Structures are given as structure tokens and as C-alpha cells.
Structure 1
Amino acid sequence: MKRTVVAAAACLVASVACAQSSVTLFGVVDAAVTYTTGSGPAYTSRWQLTNSANSFSRLGFRGNEDLGGGLSASFWLEEGLQNDTGTGFASNTNNQLNGTLGAGTLTFNRRSTVSLSSSTWGELRLGRDYTPTFWNTAIFDPFGTGGGIGANQLYFSGLGGLAAPTGTRASNSVGYFLPANLGGFYGSVMYAAGENVSNSTLPPATPGALPVSNKNDGNYGGVRLGYQSGPVHVSIATGLTTYATGDLRVSNLGASWTFEQLMGLRIMGEYYVESLGAVDGRGGLLGFSLPVGAGEIKASYARYVRDPVGNVPNPTSSKLALGYVYNFSKRTAVYATVARLTNSNGASQALGGVSTSPNHASTGGESGMRVVF
């Protein structure tokens, strides 16, 4: 049942208003049994009951009101769930590392926006939302935005991915989205504020040096442009987050082609470049998804290279993942995934919270269930 109690009560009071507006409760609950292990002298292994391996668990409320003349107002409140422990995820107040708060509690960390939109001029959206640069990582990966062992290696290893305050979402943002009737073309732009005071400074790096201004820390700007029509989908995005210690720059290009004559086979890929101060990173992903009856086979290969300062080897990690999803219905599915992550040039990336020695591999498997409501 998607109508909330609040909406039902409102309808009893004002039936005319209810005919023009709606409030919806929605969510995902996803849990999996996962085994991961590293290798080499310093390896560890682990059995876990994890969450969000296929699709991130969440609970949300969204509403829309028709204002007439093609204009509408809406809101969206969405919080992440760790349903294996009954807890939530942290949010961030200022797009900086010192703004993270609320770990373990339920916060509307995934999205909290209010919007004004029109079919003619597009949508203006205010609040906490996905950054333009994250969308390509989510859309052009066969494993989507799930957090399991098949998840995007570029995102989980990258400087501007999971670990970055603006790697997925930005707080205090103003976003604009082009209208949907542009013949397949679409686009968005976002500006988000770190909201530091004008005289904010960092302590001097060395004794006797002057303090460093960080009044612009956490300010983010990004843009995304794309085209989707028929079998083809292509999109490019770039974003910059300002920090006194070194700006974070992320750019990516994603593309896919769906072969309807081959059972709906979708081939997709992403190219990704980034920098944080003087450190660079780059990578690529190639994958596919193939509907098979009520199920879907999916696989991806990703390679990520870090370029540290100086004449030193570039740590490199690569991941191969293979998964299958069986849909009992539109809402309920079971799934299984296996993955292997390899390292070279001193890299020591590992799957699922375990450790692996530098230049060694990590492997894992998971099986779970997902319910959408």
C-alpha cells in the first residue's frame, strides 16, 4: 500500500486538494549472505549478512501537487537503510569531511529535495541530491547502484567516488534539469555550497606561516549532458569540488547500446578520470546485461589506475564480476554474484571489508533477496 496515512487523513479533510496531489511511500529492502576473502601473507576472510547487494535498501516519501498550467510542485525524502542491523547511514552537512554526521541513525541522506517543475522549462530542485557526475557511474554499470561485491570498481576505489563527500550526493544544492521533450536530449546542472563563513581558515601548514583560507571548501559545481533514443544512450558529465588542500575534479563518459534483436542484450561502458590535488586517477568499465525469461545475466570488467606524485609505480586494481537475478514478480527477486579483484604495482584493494596483501587477489560470492515496495 503506497498511500500514506497522512495522505489519507488529508483526503478526509480536503477531497478537492487530494484530486490534484499525491503522497507516496516507497522503498527497497535487500539482504544477502556474503563470503569474501583476500590472499597473501596479510589476508583475512569473512562471512557476513549484508544489505543492499543488489539495490541499496531505502525508505522514502515523495509527493506531487498539480498547480495548473503545466506547473507542479513536489518533494522527495529518502533515507538509506542497513536492514541487516536495523540502522541507517550518515549524511553530510557541508560537502566536507568534517560535515559527516548521524552514522547509524536514520537520516534522509539519499535525497531530501523540494522542486518546482514545468513540461515547458524543466525542473528547479533544491536540497540534497545526486551530483551530475554520479549518474553515469550508476546508469552505465550492469550492477547499477548496488553495494555488493559486483559494485563499480571505479566508484569504490576512486578519489571522487564513495569516499568523497560529493562523490555521490551534495548537500545545500540548487539543481536545474532540462525538460523531457527535447527529442532525446537531456541535461542538468548543479551548484552546491559548503557554507563556510567568509573568514574561515585552516591552521598554517608550518609554524610561522599564515593561515589558509577555506571559505570556499565544499563548494561543488557540476554539469551533465546526454542523449537517449531507441537503442542508443550516451552521456558526459564533469564536476569540481573546491578544497583549500586540493580541488577534487571528476569527469566521466558513459554509453550503452541495446540489441533488441539479441534478446534485449545491453552493452555498456564508462570512462572515468579524476584528480584530488596533485594525485590523479583514471579507469574504465565494460559490461553487459542480458534478459533471460524472468531473469537477467549481467557481468562487468573494470580497471582503475591511481597516479601518485613522483616517479613511482601506479597502483592498479581490476575486477571481474558475474551475476544473475531472478524476478519472481515486479517487486521480489533473488540473486547471486561472484567476483574476483586483482592488484598490481602495490595496490591492495579487497572485496567486502576484508584485507589482501599488496599485489594479491580478493574473491567473493553472495546470494540474496530484494523486495521493492
Structure 2
Amino acid sequence: MKKSLLALAVLGAFSGVASAQSSVTLYGTIDLAGRYVKNEGSNRRFSLASDGLNSSQLGFRGVEDLGGGLKASFVLLAGVNADSGTANGKFWNRRSTVSLSSNAGEIRLGRDYTPTFWNLTLFDAFGTNGLGNSLNTAQRHPGTRQDNTIQYFLPSNLGGWYGQFMAGTSEGATSGDRPARYLGGRVGFAAGPFDVAVAGAQIRYRGASFNGWTAGAPGGAITNDDQKSINVGASWNFGFAKLMGYVDYERLDNAADDRELRGSISAVIPFGQSEVHVGYDRSRLRRDGAGTSTAQQLKASYVYNLSKRTAVYGTVSYLDNNRNAAMSIAPASGTNASTGSQSATALPSTGGDSRGVEFGVRHFF
């Protein structure tokens, strides 16, 4: 009897060690907003929309300490249309990765953000979300996520330097919403109030068309081509305000002349429990035989933090197209927008403007 009790005590002790070395967390975000959008040439639309301030999502993450400084971890993250209770793409569309990490860095496998996208979202005061999303003016898509990837992340003990490198396969152009081969990387330096990073990539479309971006872009589908991307982003926190921005360049190699230059500058001004976000975005796409199209956007948000997890907010945005562009501040009915509700009746008429306002609630859990 005493031996049995001793054995149970020993097993219980080992069980406690195992549970202390590994953990799994359920987390997520719900963000909903009442939205009004009016695109020139079509009727206005009122809607309840998701992702005005942050992306609505449901996720699981876990980590296991393997000893000797080695850890294993995973993330499964699904985008959610919180207004309708549906998924906004394949189920784990936001991220599905497994990693091994140590003092030598991290190896990560699976679907994840691309290195080139990080500069676009981290150096945008609106986080590439809602009516103030800087990608509302994007006429060429630099690639948000990539399937079938292998990544390496530099260790975090390099005196402010950081970086990542990604290789992703198209697997015969059957890779769902990302039928391309991706090769890219990002390197940056952060110290005190300052942060700067540069990223570049080649996206190779072979054997399949890619038409997964705003239909207002005059370029249409990308077929059997190579897209080169390079961007640089930076931020400086002055204390009373954080200023940030980026410049992004996209080029299709096989076209006679197809290149886009896009930029964004924005700021976050905190005071008390409040924040004011303001920004300006502009893109210019030049296409051989099709002229030049430009789009520019002015945007502003007010955020009031009720707690560390809950905030209420309001955003206003105005996007102006030139005679060759038809970009919208929100997804429109009949377009190929891949996420979110169709918050506009239709795209603006060519050269028309797009304007709107939204008021919402964001909660982290």
C-alpha cells in the first residue's frame, strides 16, 4: 500500500513538471462597426461590418519547453466575419504554423504573413484595417500571406537587429488563394523610440491566374508573370505622438511597363485613455498602353480605451481616384474582395471618389 502511494506521488510530481513546461491558450478579437459608405456613381450603403479597428479572429497557440533552451510552439488562427458568424476564407486562413526556437533563432513552417507585408501593417497607424486601411489605395497586391512556407527568424538578442527570411511554394499552382512561389526577406533595427525595416520579395505566378485583390485596380488578373516587391518602413515615437510611414514599389517583369509606387504616412496621438489616428496614403500605377492611374486617401480615427481589452472608435475616410482608377475604401458587391462584408453597393465610377464613416466596438479575449 505504501509503495502504491509512493508511486502515485512520484507520477503526480512528474505530471506537474510536464504541465508547467507546456501550455495552450485560446485567444481572439471581436470587432464590429456600423458603417456608411458612398461610392460615386452608385447608391450609398449602410452595413454592420467587421474589422474596423482590428481583425476579428479566433486562435489557439501553444508552447512546450523541450529543455536546453529549445522550445516548440504552434499557432492556429482563423479569421471571423463577426457580423454574420462565418469564416472569411479557408478555416485557418490567418495563420497555421509550427515552430522550433532557441537562442539561435526560430524555424517556422506553414501559412503566415509575408516579410514584405509586415512593413505595410506595422508602419500604418490604422494597422491595414477598416475604412482607413492604407491598402485601400493599393493597385498591385504585394502579398499578405503565403501558403507552404519555411521561415527563419533571427534571434532576439542581436542588440536591436531583427529579421526573417521566407520561401514558399505554389505546389503546382494549387495553393488555394496563393498560387505562387514566394521568396523574400525583411531586416530591421529598433532602438528606443526608433524603428526602421526594409523588405523585398519575388512572387512568381506560374500555371495559374491570381485575381485576389481589389477589382478597382485596372491591372486585372496576374498570369504567368513575376512580381517584384520592395518596401521600407519606419517609425519614431516622440512621446506625445508616434509618427510612421512606408514606401512600397511593385513591378511585373513580363509586362512592357507595369509598376506601382505607393506611400503612406500616419500618426498616433495618445492622450489619457484616448487616441487620435490620422494619415494620408497615395498610389500611382503606370501601365504600358493604359496610362497612369492614381488614388489618394485621407483618414482619421478617434479611439477611446474603456480598458486594456475593450475600445470604442470612430473612423472617417475619403479616397479620391483620378480618371483611370476606381479604388474603394470598402469591399463592394460584385467584386472579388476575399474578406469582410460587402460594405459598398458598387465600386466608384472610374475617376470617382469613395467616402465613408464607421463607429464600432473592439474587444480582445
TM-score, normalised to structure 1, is 0.81
1:274 and 2:250 are equivalent in the alignment: yes
Give how far 1:12 is off: 11
Superimposed CA distance per residue, residues 41-60 of structure 1 (whole angstroms, 9 cap, x where no aligned partner): x3331111000110000000
How far apart are the structure 2 equivalents of 1:151 and 1:282?
17
What's 2:319 paired with?
341
Residues 173-184 of structure 1: pairs in structure 2 closer than 5 A: 173-184=149-160
Name the structure 2 match of 1:29.
30
Relative to structure 1, the CA distance from residue 341 to residue 18 in structure 2 (aligned partners, 3 Å threshold; closer, same or farther) is same
1:368 partnered with 2:330: no
Structure 1 residue runs of 5 or longer lacking an equivalent are 1-10, 92-106, 162-166, 201-216
CA distance in 2, matches of 1:69, 1:128: 28
CA contact (8 A) 1:153 1:318 kept: no
Q: 1:232 aligns with which of 164, 182, 194?
A: 194
The alpha-carbon distance between structure 1 residues 68 and 13, as it changes in their structure 2 partners (threshold 3 A), is closer
Tell me the SS of whatever aligns to 2:172. Answer: coil
Alpha-carbon deviation of 1:13?
Answer: 9.8
Residue 336 of structure 2 corresponds to which residue in structure 1?
none
Residue of structure 2 in register with 1:159 after alignment: 140
Q: Report the AA paired with residue 125 of structure 2.
A: P
Per-residue deviation, 1:23: 0.6
Alignment equivalent of 1:109, drawn from 83, 89, 93: 93
Amino acid in the other structure paired with 2:195: H
Which residue matches 2:216?
Answer: none
Match of 1:121 in 2: 104
Instruction: Tell me the amino acid that sits aligned with residue 355 of structure 2.
Output: T
Aligned residues: 316
**Equivalents in 1 of 2:358, 2:68: separation in Å?**
50
Which amino acid in structure 2 is aligned with residue 330 of structure 1?
K
Contact 2:62 2:73 in 1 (8 A): yes
Aligned position for 1:330: 308
Deviates more, 1:75-84 or 1:340-349: 340-349
The change in CA–CA distance for 1:117 and 1:44 in structure 2 (over 3 A counts) is: same
Return the alpha-carbon distance in structure 1 between the equivalents of residues 320 and 191 of structure 2: 37
Pairwise mapping of residues 77-92 of structure 1 onto structure 2 (< 5 A)?
A: 77-91=76-90
Question: Does 2:117 match 1:134?
Answer: yes
What SS is found at the alignment partner of 2:131? coil
Q: What SS class does the counterpart of residue 247 from structure 1 fall into?
A: strand
Paired position in structure 1 for 2:220:
none
Q: Look up the match of 2:126.
A: 143
SS of residue matched to 1:18 = helix
Kept in 1, the 8 Å contact 2:132–2:329? The answer is no
Corresponding letter in the other structure for 1:307: R
Deviations along 1:12-31, one digit per CA (max 9) or x if unpaired, are 99332111111100000000
Please say if residues 81 and 88 of structure 1, whose CA atoms lie closer than 8 Å, have aligned partners that are also in contact.
Answer: yes
DSSP-derived class of the 1:136 partner: helix
8 Å CA contact 1:44–1:356 kept in 2: the answer is no
For residues 73 and 323 of structure 2, what CA distance do their matches in structure 1 show? 50
Query: Deviations along 1:268-294, whole A, 9 cap, x unmatched?
Result: 111010023422111111110011110
Give 1:144 deviation, angstroms: 0.7
Aligned equivalent of 1:223, options 167, 185, 195: 185
Tell me if structure 2 keeps the 8 A contact 1:81–1:87.
Answer: yes
Q: Secondary structure at the match of 2:234?
A: strand
CA distance in 1, matches of 2:321, 2:43: 16
One-letter amino acid matched to 1:22: S
SS in 2 for 1:194: coil
RMSD between superposed Cα atoms in Å: 1.8
Identity %: 43
**Equivalent-residue separation in structure 2 for 1:54 and 1:182 (angstroms):** 32
1:248 CA displacement: 1.7
Which whole-Å CA distance do the structure 2 matches of 1:231 and 1:270 have between them?
Answer: 17
- How do 1:301-312 residues align onto structure 2 when only pairs under 5 Å count? 301-310=280-289, 312=290
Q: Could you list the per-position Cα deviations for residues 93-147 of structure 1 after superposition, in whole angstroms to 9, with x for gaps in the alignment?
A: xxxxxxxxxxxxxx011111100001x210000011110000000100000132x
* Counterpart code for 1:112: S
Q: Structure 2: how far apart are the matches of 1:124 and 1:73?
A: 10
**Distance in 2, Cα, partners of 1:183 & 1:345:** 49
Shift of 1:305: 0.8
